[in-house]
A and B are shown apart, each in its own frame.
Chain A
Amino acid sequence: MERLFFLIFASVAVVSALCVVLFRNPVRSALALMLCLLQVACVFVLLRSPFLAVVQVFVYVGAVMVLFLFVVMILDIRQAELEAFFPPRNRWLMYAIIPVITFEFLLVILGTSFEGFGPGAGGETKVEVIGRALFTEYLLPFEVVSVLLLVAMVGAIVMAKKRWD
């Protein structure tokens, strides 16, 4: 049963991810990305990480995607302008590279036994456990990230502020 659900979520995620790239209208792409992220959240539930799934929905689907849509709508990116960034001469190169990479990844997936991949089943993923890990084992990266976010904010202000008359 779980396998069936995984297959449904995973295939919808892959198809919607493809749609993100293939749709010509940026708003549709953004909506497809939203669908893709929701499916990934479902996969997190299957992996017994409800907290991660909720965060995924809140942060990505809720906040980030809304921001995406706002930017797309405010900037009014027209198709013709977008196409200027995708010159057709590179497209054939892309078509040539895709099968090579696909073949490589198939080789890797078939050649690797995924037995014991990851930290192993049975690990608790309750919010308390995550919180404790963040403030013990991962305290240093956690603090570094807090500085990083401050820097990103300062940087955004510096870039956006007009400094000359």
Chain B
Amino acid sequence: MIFGLRDVMAVIPEAIVAGAACLLLLVDFLIAKKRKIIVAALSIAAVAAAAFFSLYLVGTDVMWKKVFAGMFVVDGFSTFFKFVLYLATVLSMMLSFHYVKEEDINTGEYYTLMLFSLSGMMIAASASDLLSIYVAVELMSIPVYVLVGFLQKDARSNEAAMKYVILGAFSSGVLLYGISFIYGITGTTELSAVAGALADPSMHTPALSIAIIMLVAGFGFKIAGVPFHMWAPDAYEGAPTPITGFMSAGPKAAACAAVLRVFTEGLQPAYSRWVVIVAIVAVLSLVYGNIVAIAQKNIKRMLAYSSIGHVGYALLGLVAGGTEGASSVMYYMAVYAFMNLGAFSIIIMMRKGEQKGEMIEDYTGLAKTRGGMALLMLIFMFSLAGLPPTAGFIGKFYIFMALIHKGMVGLAVIAVLMSAVGAYFYIRIVMLMYMKDPVNPVETASSRGLYYALAIAAAGTILLGVYPGYFIKLAQMAGGSL
């Protein structure tokens, strides 16, 4: 087996990101502590170069064909997800400029670890073999474990990293065990070959069910679906806030991409076996995430539970299946990256000096003192709640339509009910900001990176809500390649 130019071409974007991260580890030594923003700028440039090559590959004959002996594929699906991942990474880096100075964690490794994680996420979105998916998911998670524990002085951050790494290692074990069962049953790990082998009904033994349960549990940990979510609230609360945003938009989207590919490509012949299990995880995530979020006082914790709820919506798209289901999940992940990182940039803005800005009550009367900021927060909260005309509404609507077209009206009703419950705690923040008088004077951070990130997030949230047609068509075209 000889590898040609096509194989190398296909991984150029990943190679740029991973290579730049390796180089930046060295460049970091030459840069004084005050100027670490140069590392960040170079990282963003590397992501831009990777994005350029991803775009370039769209027209070439490298697309749609499996390379590296069936391990990797560049298709519309992976390219769409890669752009969501580029966006999430660049926005999180821009959110970090101010925050790392405030918390005194201004090091070069902070940005290089994000780049390494991005390279893992990109491979996870493109991998078409259970083995490469597994190593890619690991490459994506390990830098995040470190980033979660970056606030060495903060006990919460250390605890969060500890919990995350132990549960993450455990879940990787479960995932690998499931993969070994699939290999045992079908004799292959390549997804289309797995699907070919499973087309034979005599393969549908109880061992296959065990394999599916293990895969759902392993991936469930990575995307924080109930009942595999227990690490998420602590990790989200303890992590540096830009990393919390990064985790909820980047690795989660990449893991969703891997889940979609594994279940809709590899395990499609066993649809009737996994659909119930995935639906149970989806409904539990919806109910638990949205109801427990109501009781939270810390806004990062609240958004952690809300992200558990949002995983529920994404999994419902997987349950619906087909091109429509897949593209609804893709659209939702893009929307979620914009609106969630937007909400996190407001939280980061509230972090200044002694003021942590993490409690929900800190937002009381914000509209009186910081009108623009409150308005942006209102847009993000409305979008997370799923109110028109924001992007969150279109995202949810599209998933519900996919469910209804498949005749799963019951699931759609549960999802609508739970998004009504969810609206309560998002709109409570809007109420606090607009209907009450300020108690304490608030200070806000001003940083160019934050302003740009906010502008991009707000523009995306509104654009995807007001003018969704083009982007939905893009997601449909990309989702059709699964």
Which A residues fall within an 8 A CB radius of B?
105, 107-108, 111-113, 116-120, 136-141, 144-145, 147-148, 150-152, 154-155, 158-159, 162-164
Contact: B142 with A148, CB < 8 Å?
Answer: yes
Contact: B131 with A138, CB < 8 Å?
Answer: yes
Inter-chain contact total with CB atoms closer than 8 Å: 95
A158–B145 Cα distance when bound, in Å, is: 11
Which B residues fall within an 8 A CB radius of A?
1, 3, 11, 18, 22, 25, 68-69, 71-72, 104-105, 107, 109, 112-113, 116, 119-120, 123, 129, 131-132, 134-136, 138-139, 142-143, 145-146, 149-150, 152-153, 161, 183-185, 187, 205-207, 209-210
Contact: A152 with B142, CB < 8 Å?
Answer: yes
Residues of A within 8 A of B25 (CB): 154
Residues of A within 8 A of B150 (CB): 158
Contact: B22 with A150, CB < 8 Å?
Answer: yes
A144–B104 Cα distance when bound, in Å, is: 32
Residues of A within 8 A of B123 (CB): 144
Contact: B184 with A108, CB < 8 Å?
Answer: no
Residues of B within 8 A of A163 (CB): 104-105, 107, 152
A152–B161 Cα distance when bound, in Å, is: 14
Contact: A147 with B113, CB < 8 Å?
Answer: no
Contact: A159 with B187, CB < 8 Å?
Answer: no
Asked whether A155 and B69 contact (CB < 8 A) given A147-B116, A162-B152, the answer is no
Residues of B within 8 A of A147 (CB): 18, 22, 116, 119, 139
A139–B72 Cα distance when bound, in Å, is: 11
Residues of A within 8 A of B120 (CB): 144, 148
Residues of B within 8 A of A162 (CB): 152
Contact: B152 with A164, CB < 8 Å?
Answer: yes
Contact: B71 with A148, CB < 8 Å?
Answer: no
**Closest CB pairs A-B (n = 3):** A155-B146, A140-B68, A111-B206
Residues of B within 8 A of A107 (CB): 206
Contact: A155 with B1, CB < 8 Å?
Answer: no
Contact: B132 with A144, CB < 8 Å?
Answer: yes
Asked whether A145 and B135 contact (CB < 8 A) given A136-B1, A139-B68, the answer is yes
Using CB atoms, name the residue of chain B closest to A152: B142
The contact sample of 27 A-B pairs, CB cut-off 8 A, is: A105-B210, A108-B209, A108-B210, A112-B207, A117-B185, A120-B187, A136-B69, A138-B131, A139-B69, A140-B71, A140-B72, A141-B134, A144-B132, A144-B135, A144-B139, A147-B116, A150-B22, A151-B142, A151-B143, A154-B25, A154-B146, A155-B143, A158-B107, A158-B150, A159-B149, A159-B161, A164-B153
